[in-house]
Each structure stands twice: as C-alpha cells, then as structure tokens.
A = this chain, B = another copy of it.
Amino acid sequence: MSRTVYVNGAYLAEEDATVSIFDRGFLMADGVYEVTSVLDGKLIDFDGHAVRLERSLNELDMASPMGKDELLTIHRELVRLNNIDEGMIYLQITRGAPGDRDFVFPDPETTKPTVVLFTQNKPGLADSPVAKKGIKVISIEDIRWGRRDIKTVQLLYPSMGKMMAKKAGADDAWMIENGFVTEGTSNNAYIVKDGAIITRGLSNDILHGITRAAVLRFADEAQYKVIERNFTLEEAQQADEAFITSASTFVMPVVEIDGHPVGTGTPGQVATRLRQVYLEECKKNAI
C-alpha cells in the first residue's frame, strides 16, 4: 500500500500528490522545510522544529499558513495513517503557485503558501547499526549561500556533497570555509578533545540545529565541558572523537575524516554516551 501524504489540506495517496509547475518551490527554491523524527510512534523535538519553521518563514517574509496545533495534528494524523513506529516526517512550505513565474513575490492575499508533508518509514532508526561503527566523512569546500541559518530547500550543493562523499567511499562530507569546518551536508559537526566538546557557534554560517541545541543542553547537564568555537579540519583529524547531530541521525560518531582515523578510529565514549542520553531524554519528552 502506498503512503498517504498531505498536500494543502488534503490527505492523498503519494502517487496523486502533486504541485503546480508554477509553484515557487519548484521554479525558484522559494521554500523552507523541517524534518521531525518519530520514535515509538511519537514526535521528537516537535516544538523546536515548529519554532525554527516559524523563524525560517519570518526571515523570508513568508506568512505562516497554520498554527502549531494544526501542524501537530497533521503530523500525528500522518503517523497514524501510515502506521509509523520509527521514521521521519518531512514538512515543506513554499510561497505558493501564483500562476506565472516572476522574481517579485506574489501578493500573499491571493497566493497562499503550499504545504506538503510526508512520512518516511525507518524501522531501526534509534538502534542503528551505523551508529555502532560510526561514519566516514570527506572534506569539501563550502560554497553554499550566506544564509544557512534559514532552512531553505536550496539543497543542491549538499546533495552534490553527499555524492562526492559516496564516490570517495565515504558517508558524508564536512564543509570547509576560510579554513574552518562549518557543518556536514545535513547535520552539525563536533569534535572532542581532552574531554571538551567543541562545535562551531551559531551564526548565519550554519543551520541552528534543533538536535544540536538539545544535545548541547544534555552535554551540559552531564557535566561535559562545551566550547562553541570554530575548528579546523586538521584539528578534527587530531581530535579524540568526532561526531555529527541531526534530527534523523541523532548523535552519530565520525570515525574517519579524509581517510585519517579520528582517535582510535571507532566510535568514541562521549559520542556514544551522548547518543544514549539524547535518545532517552527525547523519548521521555516525545509527543
């Protein structure tokens, strides 16, 4: 049976789910998105994603098409309809389909935002075998636009980066700008040195990860020293541990960078512990 997805108020079979060719998401990448994980059939960090979505919309002068409660209702309905125990819910909002192509924004009174949601069923997401062996990353230049804090659908370069990693026999790419690591293709990047967790501070240069915020809070509560500062690729290669965080990978150890093993070349204690704490705490607060 096919997935049931949500498009502009309707629950549809995925084969029937379409948008106009004049949708500004399709023609101009004029849209934002969020991905929320589902564990035990419940939403992880939903509030955080809803708040960031609102911020992304505001930054682009895009009206919010619905309140948090309605958004939550749709998320839950999709979980129910598709019987998701572990997986993700993807949400995209664009500036809508004004009926013709124009660089000028359409009148929001007549052109309503396009709202699309769909589920991705991922049994075993929490108890991932990948987390037990860690991932390998390569480094690539960060040539994305300057507002990476806005979660837009301009994902061509991250997608290209993932392909570069795949061709190099790795799992993901860390992006480098002015000599410093910014982030992964769809995740925030961290290293651990002498017991301290080091990650780039928030700015327009990186995504303000919802998982990042939660993990740093839990790290703090667990008495880890957290330092928010830029770090270089060389520093990362010489670190004791490295890891990434994202809504769908939670905390994932990085064991190799550009062919160079990090620490022992196996998942480190801090990353492993943080993954465990994050999953426990998030499940407690899942809705």
Contacts and interface: CB of A to CB of B under 8 A. Distances in A.
A52 to B, nearest CB: 17
Contacts of A7: 21
Nearest to A15: B20
Interface string A9-38: 000001001111111111111110100000
A81 B236 CA distance: 59
A162 B18 contact: no
Interface in A44-82: 60-61
B19 A153 contact: no
Interface of A is mostly: mixed
A26 B28 contact: no
A224 interface: no
A116 to B, nearest CB: 5
A286 interface: no
B18 A20 contact: yes
Nearest to A3: B100
B20 A155 contact: no
Contact of A155 (B17, B29, B90, B94): B29
10 contacts: A26-B31, A27-B153, A28-B153, A28-B159, A29-B156, A30-B159, A101-B120, A103-B186, A141-B146, A154-B156
Interface of A: 5, 7, 14, 17-31, 33, 60-61, 90, 92, 94, 99-101, 103-105, 116, 118, 120, 141, 143-147, 152-160, 162-163, 166, 185-186
